[in-house]
Homo-oligomer: A and B are copies of this chain.
């Protein structure tokens, strides 16, 4: 212990730190599974959003995933190159880019069920803890975003 201030908060008492570190640890755990599918973690989440809600515009995807065009545009281009999605401008409004799954992108849904299942199994949390945690995270998310 080097610090002397009374109100100093240690690294381990930083809630932000345990969230930040755990988030990255989950992505590390997923990596070998996602590598088999030739996906990155944000790409996987994008596919989940498309499987769930069908074709969407870039900004709709951005709202769901909480990502902006600066992140999405290059990532979606990589996903298009990998033949997972197609992007084309809306004929009615040329500003809008619509994103939709290719057949390959649709087929990947079946193989990807292991991803959330693996976290569930490895988490070491019982059903109560799991749901409480998910609820608390969402509550925290809302408050922090205000």
Contacts and interface: CB of A to CB of B under 8 A. Distances in A.
A143 B116 contact: no
Number of identical protomers: 2
A130 B53 CA distance: 33
Interface in A1-44: 1-3, 5, 7-11, 13-30, 41
Contacts of A7: 113
A82 interface: no
Interface residues on A, range: 35 or more
Interface of A: 1-3, 5, 7-11, 13-30, 41, 45, 48-49, 51-54, 64-66, 109-110, 113, 116, 119-120, 122-125, 129-130, 132-134, 136-146
